[in-house]
A and B are shown apart, each in its own frame.
Chain A
């Protein structure tokens, strides 16, 4: 048997050669644990993320918008399902992961702890939040773990569609009445900073980053991804005749970057620790759905058992003729 150190060297060599790691391959225990953490957090985010936008399905302003929003939120459920399955390839069970979420042991993206107050929020979430997810997930599509990478490639296509849909809602509002423009600007003001926080703490305060980069789980730093998002999004906001709620924002000719003012990291850590506007409500909603679904899941199992027994006894009857 090879010793651990040698296996690690071989593992790193495979990573350096840009090979994908597959479920049956040897991997360091920490690599496995980091991936379970990241992938399950990602799965939870998709599921909790259904709630803020789901809040507007019954109030969508036209039939077309209603169907598009419903289909979008349904896509997020599909992403969650797909990511839970991908996480299960690392030897954990989906329902255990869900228990971790419901019992407050697991994290999900902070962004979903903010409320959706107007219809414009639906547009801005699609544009900003799905847009930020795309930036992050385009990087993760190249991650070293095969099942995660493949999940990301599939999911990214749908996120691109969500972003277009969200942006289109915003364009419609921007071309609409003064009240609609006011609604849009207010939503931009509220979602801008929380969206920038989605990329995680700055590089010098991101303890997991060096290891994740070395294993090519992540391929860019939080700050690089954040800057990329800012550079894409600022011109889009300005093109709609809207403003960014950042008095320090300026364009840097030398680097071609839009430079932002300081992010309120106290807020970030506070929301992560459970003290955001909607943390409690979001978890309560998930718990309620889970608890109210318990009798349904039990019925499914009981019915399947009965069917199996029936099939077995029919088979026995046939063979004993």
Chain B
């Protein structure tokens, strides 16, 4: 099915789902872009900018589609720059401040492993425009996964300091990984309509792939924490997202209606 043949009853759930995908990419891309000019050396500065550009590109495509599905005439920019934090649908994992290089890499690795599995499955989506975006995004996220996995091995098995930093980033981030696989009514509706994949089948694969790389990196898989962060998919975020948006949305907010 496509935009014309889409069942109207599915629109609200699909809009919501596209916001989740698009916001994940947008907020992660924004965090990555903060590295530009501040990377550990030039080649890596360039690599991080590439990752950011990929994510922002996915965000633009997904949010544009979200606006079309919603049918209220909102553009990707309207959605990115004119929503408040409680209307954002990204997981908390992507909004955490960029931290040190180890934190950025570990997050990218955890997210890219998830995104590769997700976008691969989404290529089979019954909603064709989404399958099309997923095909391109999957290719690019595979590069993110290769890049971040190689860094995981390097940091984990590099020096004592790099090992310590990577392990502590991993320990800190682990409680934010549960959200990636949460299932609610929105997702169940779309899984039934064969638009979204069954997350329950992706989670064990994610776990297995993550553990393999962590082993190679001589890092320890964290214990499951007593509390897994939750809420992002319903607009309840960490305190960090509001600050990120205040910065990102500044011009659109200060000069309402202006063209840029």
- State whether these chains interact: yes
Whole-angstrom CA separation of A175 from B45 in the bound complex: 35
A-B contact count (CB 8 A): 137
Which residues of the other chain, B, contact A57 by a CB distance below 8 angstroms? Answer: 33-34, 36
Q: Is the CB of B43 within 8 A of A298?
A: no
B18 in contact (CB, < 8 A): no
- Nearest-Cβ distance from residue A284 to partner chain B, whole angstroms: 12
CB-contact partner of A303 in B45, B154, B260, under 8 A: B154
B44 in contact (CB, < 8 A): yes
Name the residue among B34, B42, B157 with the largest chain A CB count within 10 angstroms.
B42
- Nearest-Cβ distance from residue A309 to partner chain B, whole angstroms: 12
Which residues of the other chain, A, contact B258 by a CB distance below 8 angstroms? Answer: 176-177, 179-180
B57 in contact (CB, < 8 A): yes
Q: Is the CB of A296 within 8 A of B40?
A: yes
Name the residue among B49, B56, B157 with the largest chain A CB count within 10 angstroms.
B49
Q: Is the CB of B37 within 8 A of A293?
A: no
A240 in contact (CB, < 8 A): no
Whole-angstrom CA separation of A63 from B63 in the bound complex: 11
Interface size on B, residues (CB 8 A): 48
Q: Is the CB of B39 within 8 A of A70?
A: no
Which residues of the other chain, B, contact A77 by a CB distance below 8 angstroms? Answer: 36-37, 42, 45-46, 49
Main secondary structure of the interface of B (DSSP, over half): helix
Q: Is the CB of A59 within 8 A of B53?
A: no
Q: Is the CB of A67 within 8 A of B158?
A: no
A73 in contact (CB, < 8 A): yes
A54 in contact (CB, < 8 A): yes
Which residues of the other chain, A, contact B252 by a CB distance below 8 angstroms? Answer: 61
Which residues of chain B from 101 to 117 have a CB within 8 Å of any chain A CB?
Answer: 101
Interfacial residues, chain B to chain A (CB-CB below 8 A): 26, 30, 33-34, 36-46, 49-50, 52-53, 56-57, 59-60, 63, 76-77, 80-81, 100-101, 153-155, 157-159, 161-162, 165, 247-248, 250-252, 255, 258-260
